[in-house]
C-alpha cells in the first residue's frame, strides 16, 4: 500500500474539508491532492523515475507536505533535510542519497550557487523562486502533467530517507518503507492521540522532522493542519493560534519548546481550553520542567520515545498517566512510558541477552516501525540491526510494570574512577534547585579519575549561584562521587536545528586534543 492512499481517500470522500492553513494560505483536501499529483507528474516528466530520491530543504510551509505527498504519488523517495544545516552539509546528504532532485527555499539559493560544484551531480534543482539555473517551484504545479492515479507502490517499497543528526560522525540515512510509515500512522492513532476528522492539529516544530511525521496520521484522519507562520518558535503565536482556531492537538514539541512556552505563558492571557493533547519527545524532559508545564497547561501531555531508526513510536506515556503519576508522586512520571501495542522492546546486556527486570542495559526494539537499514551502509546496518533487533544506543532499564527508564545515550555515560555515572540523574537533581532554569552534565578529562563530572548551568532570570551552592545542592540527593567537580555558568545552552541541547558539542571542547575519551590518550 502506497502511503499516498491515505490522502487520496480523504480527498475523494471529504475533499471540501480544510487540509492546510498557513497564515492567509488555505488548501482543501481536494486542492492538496491536486497539487501533490501535479508535483508528482511534473517530476516524472522531467526525467525522474520511481525509486529516485528527491531532497528538500525548506522552511516550514505547505510546500513541505506537498513535496512529501508528491513524491509518494510518483513512487519517489523523499529525503527531508534540516533547514538549519550548512550548505556543505546539505550537499553531503544530497550526494550520499544519490538524489536526482533538490527542492529548496530562496534563502538557500545563494549558498547552493556559491558551492555549485558540490551540487553538480544533481540533474534537477528546483527553487521556490527561479534563479541560478534552478527552475521555479511553480512549474511543478502545472496541472497538465498531473498524475491521474498515484503509483502502485508496494508496502516494502522505499518511501523516505531520514538522515540522522550525525552527532557521532557523518549523518546516515535511515530507510523507511511505506510499511514503516503506515506502522507510524496506525501506532500513533492507537497509542498516542486518536486524531479526529477536522480536528485542528498545530505544527510548531520542523516539518522536516517530528512534526512532519505526525502530519502523516493527521492527514490520514482528515485533520486540519495548521502550520505556524514564522521562521522560529514563537510561543505567543502558538497561544494565539490555539485560542483563535480552537486547536485540539499540537503535533510535536521538543522539551526545549515546552520549557520556553511554560516560561512565557501568562495565566488568563489566552483561552487554551480546546487543547486536548501535546505530543513531545526527541530528548528527555526533566521531571521538574514537566511538573511546571502540567501546572500551566493541564492534563494534555503525551510523551513518545523513538528515533530516526524507529520513528516516533517505541514507547510512550499517555496524558492520563502523566496526571496520575504527577499527582501521586509516582516515579513513573520520569519514565519514557510503556511499550507500544505492536512493538517489541527489551533491555540487553553486553552479550546481547535480555537483562533481568530492573537491570541496566541497552534498549533494543523490533517491529514494522523499525527502519529497513541505513542507505548504502551495510556495515552500520549489520551493527545496528544485529540479531534482528534495532540497537538504539540508549541505556535504560524496565521496571516490573513494563515502564522504560532512559538513563542516557551509551556514549554519554561518564566513567569516573570505574563508576558509571548517568548525566540525566544529576541533571534531574540540578533543575530542582529554585535558582536553576536548566542544566547539562557531561564528562571532562581528569588525570586521576579518568573522567570528572562537569555541569553547565543556566540560572533563572535575575538569579545567580556559585559553584559551591550547586555542588552542595547535589550532595543533598546524590552520592558524593556523582557530584559535579566543576561548574560552568551560561546564559543559554546551544541547541540543534531540532531543538535538542548539543551536549556532545559542548563536551568535545573539553576533549579537544585527546585521541580518545581516555585520559592519557592526548594527541601530541
pLDDT in tens, 119-134: 999 999 999 998 878 9
- Residue 384's H or E segment, with its range, is helix 378-384
> Is residue 360 domain-shared with residue 466, that is, in the same domain?
no
Lowest mean pLDDT among 103-112, 331-340, 417-426, 468-477: 417-426
| Domain-terminating residue out of 396, 431, 456 | 396
Whether the predicted pLDDT of 197 surpasses 70: yes
- Which residue would you say has higher pLDDT here, 313 or 239? 239
522 located within any domain: no
Whether the predicted pLDDT of 229 surpasses 50: yes
| Domain-terminating residue out of 396, 423, 447 | 396
Lowest mean pLDDT among 32-46, 83-97, 189-203: 83-97
Average pLDDT in the 10-26 region?
98
> Is residue 391 domain-shared with residue 424, that is, in the same domain?
no
299 located within any domain: yes
What is the count of structural domains for the chain?
A: 2
DSSP 228: P
> Is residue 387 domain-shared with residue 483, that is, in the same domain?
no
| Contact by Cβ (8 Å): 406, 336 | yes
How confident is the model at residue 164, as a pLDDT?
83
How confident is the model at residue 516, as a pLDDT?
37
Beta carbons within 10 angstroms of residue 333's beta carbon? 21
What CATH number has the domain bearing residue 343? 3.40.50.12780
Average pLDDT in the 146-154 region?
96
Whether the predicted pLDDT of 441 surpasses 70: yes
pTM above 0.85, yes or no: no
Average pLDDT in the 42-71 region?
98
Could you tell me the sign of the dihedral formed by the alpha carbons of 504, 505, 508, 510, in that order?
negative
How confident is the model at residue 171, as a pLDDT?
84
Q: Residue 163's pLDDT band (boundaries 50, 70, 90)?
A: very high
| Domain-terminating residue out of 396, 424, 440 | 396
Q: Please list the residues that pair with 195 across neighbouring strands.
A: none
524 located within any domain: no
> Is residue 434 domain-shared with residue 333, that is, in the same domain?
no
Average pLDDT in the 58-69 region?
97
517 located within any domain: no
> Is residue 368 domain-shared with residue 431, that is, in the same domain?
no
Lowest mean pLDDT among 70-84, 276-290, 307-321: 276-290
290 located within any domain: yes
Percent of the chain scored above 70 by pLDDT?
94
Could you tell me the sign of the dihedral formed by the alpha carbons of 190, 191, 192, 193, in that order?
positive
Average pLDDT in the 7-18 region?
98
| Contact by Cβ (8 Å): 214, 339 | no
> Is residue 324 domain-shared with residue 428, that is, in the same domain?
no
How confident is the model at residue 417, as a pLDDT?
67
Beta carbons within 10 angstroms of residue 165's beta carbon? 18
pLDDT, one tens digit per residue, over 367-399 is: 999 999 999 999 999 999 999 999 998 889 999
> Is residue 341 domain-shared with residue 448, that is, in the same domain?
no
Per-residue CA distances from 71 to 44, 49, 120, 317, 367 (Å): 10, 11, 22, 33, 25
407 located within any domain: no
How confident is the model at residue 520, as a pLDDT?
32
> Is residue 364 domain-shared with residue 426, that is, in the same domain?
no
How confident is the model at residue 523, as a pLDDT?
35
> Is residue 418 domain-shared with residue 390, that is, in the same domain?
no
Q: Residue 169's pLDDT band (boundaries 50, 70, 90)?
A: low
> Is residue 384 domain-shared with residue 417, that is, in the same domain?
no
Lowest mean pLDDT among 250-259, 291-300, 400-409, 496-505: 496-505
> Is residue 312 domain-shared with residue 366, that is, in the same domain?
yes
Cell 548551568 belongs to 457
pLDDT, one tens digit per residue, over 272-309 is: 999 999 999 876 677 888 999 999 999 999 999 998 99
How confident is the model at residue 522, as a pLDDT?
35
523 located within any domain: no
How confident is the model at residue 326, as a pLDDT?
94
Average pLDDT in the 24-39 region?
98
Q: Write out the residue range of the structural domain in which residue 229 sits.
A: 4-396
Beta carbons within 10 angstroms of residue 396's beta carbon? 22
What CATH number has the domain bearing residue 474? 3.30.300.30
How confident is the model at residue 517, as a pLDDT?
41
Measured CA to CA, the distance from residue 187 to residue 195 in angstroms comes to 12
> Is residue 207 domain-shared with residue 264, that is, in the same domain?
yes
Percent of the chain scored above 90 by pLDDT?
77
Question: What DSSP string runs through 72-102?
Answer: HHHT-EEEE--TTS-HHHHHHHHHHTT-SEE
pLDDT, one tens digit per residue, over 342-374 is: 999 999 999 999 999 999 999 999 999 999 999
Lowest mean pLDDT among 243-252, 325-334, 511-520: 511-520
408 located within any domain: no
Whether the predicted pLDDT of 192 surpasses 50: yes
Radius of gyration for the chain, computed over Cα atoms and rounded to the nearest angstrom: 23
CA geometry: angle 393, 396, 400, nearest 5 deg: 145
How confident is the model at residue 165, as a pLDDT?
62
Amino acid at each position: 500500500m502506497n502511503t499516498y492512499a491515505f490522502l487520496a481517500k480523504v480527498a475523494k470522500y471529504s475533499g471540501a474539508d480544510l487540509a492546510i492553513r498557513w497564515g492567509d494560505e488555505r488548501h482543501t483536501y481536494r486542492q492538496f491532492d491536486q497539487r501533490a499529483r501535479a508535483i508528482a507528474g511534473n517530476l516524472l516528466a522531467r526525467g525522474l523515475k520511481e525509486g529516485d530520491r528527491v531532497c528538500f530543504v525548506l522552511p516550514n510551509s505547505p510546500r513541505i507536505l506537498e513535496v512529501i505527498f508528491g513524491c509518494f504519488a510518483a513512487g519517489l523517495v523523499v529525503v527531508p533535510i534540516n533547514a538549519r544545516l550548512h550548505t556543505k552539509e546539505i550537499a553531503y546528504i544530497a550526494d550520499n542519497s544519490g538524489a536526482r532532485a533538490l527542492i529548496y527555499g530562496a534563502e538557500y539559493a545563494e549558498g547552493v550557487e556559491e558551492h555549485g560544484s558540490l551540487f553538480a551531480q544533481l540533474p534537477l534543482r528546483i527553487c521556490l523562486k527561479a534563479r541560478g539555473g534552478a527552475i521555479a517551484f511553480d512549474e511543478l504545479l502545472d496541472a497538465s502533467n498531473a498524475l491521474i492515479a498515484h503509483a502502485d507502490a508496494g508496502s516494502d517499497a522505499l518511501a523516505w530517507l531520514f538522515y540522522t543528526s550525525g552527532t557521532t560522525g557523518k549523518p546516515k540515512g535511515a530507510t523507511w518503507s511505506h510499511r514503516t510509515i503506515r506502522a507510524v500512522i496506525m501506532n500513533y492513532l492507537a497509542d498516542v492521540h486518536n486524531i479526529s476528522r477536522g480536528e485542528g492539529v498545530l505544527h510548531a516544530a520542523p516539518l522536516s522532522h517530528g512534526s512532519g511525521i505526525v502530519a502523516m496520521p493527521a492527514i490520514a484522519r482528515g485533520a486540519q493542519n495548521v502550520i505556524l507562520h514564522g521562521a522560529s518558535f514563537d510561543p505567543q503565536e502558538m497561544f494565539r493560534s490555539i485560542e483563535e482556531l480552537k486547536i485540539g492537538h499540537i503535533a510535536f514539541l521538543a522539551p526545549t519548546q515546552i520549557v520556553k512556552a511554560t516560561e512565557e505563558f501568562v495565566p488568563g492571557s489566552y483561552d487554551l481550553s480546546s487543547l486536548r493533547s501535546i505530543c513531545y519527545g526527541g530528548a528527555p524532559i526533566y521531571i521538574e520542567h514537566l511538573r511546571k508545564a502540567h501546572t500551566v497547561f493541564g492534563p494534555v501531555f503525551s510523551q513518545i520515545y523513538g528515533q530516526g531508526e524507529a520513528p516516533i513510536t517505541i514507547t510512550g506515556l499517555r496524558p492520563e498517566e502523566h496526571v496520575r503519576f504527577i499527582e501521586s508522586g509516582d516515579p513513573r512520571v520520569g519514565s519514557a512510558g510503556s511499550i507500544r501495542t505492536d512493538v517489541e522492546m527489551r533491555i540487553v546486556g553486553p552479550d546481547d541477552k535480555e537483562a533481568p527486570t530492573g537491570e541496566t542495559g541497552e534498549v533494543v526494539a523490533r517491529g514494522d516501525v523499525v527502519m529497513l537499514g541505513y542507505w548504502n551502509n551495510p556495515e552500520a546496518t549489520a551493527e545496528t540491526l544485529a540479531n534482528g533487533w534495532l540497537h538504539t544506543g540508549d541505556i535504560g532499564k524496565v521496571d516490573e510494570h513494563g515502564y522504560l527508564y532512559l538513563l542516557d545515550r551509551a556514549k554519554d555515560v561518564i566513567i569516573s574512577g570505574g563508576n558509571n555515572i548517568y548525566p540525566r540523574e544529576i541533571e534531574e537533581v540540578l533543575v530542582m534547585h529554585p535558582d536553576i532554569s536548566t542544566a547539562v552534565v557531561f564528562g571532562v578529562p581528569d588525570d586521576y579519575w579518568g573522567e570528572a563530572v562537569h555541569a553547565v548551568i543556566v540560572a533563572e532570570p535575575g538569579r545567580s549561584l556559585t559553584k559551591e551552592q550547586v555542588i552542595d545542592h547535589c550532595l543533598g540527593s546524590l552520592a558524593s562521587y556523582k557530584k559535579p567537580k566543576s561548574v560552568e555558568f551560561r546564559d543559554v545552552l546551544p541547541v540543534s536545528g531540532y531543538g535538542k541541547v548539543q551536549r556532545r558539542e559542548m563536551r568535545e571542547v573539553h576533549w579537544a586534543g585527546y585521541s580518545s575519551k581516555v585520559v592519557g590518550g592526548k594527541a601530541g
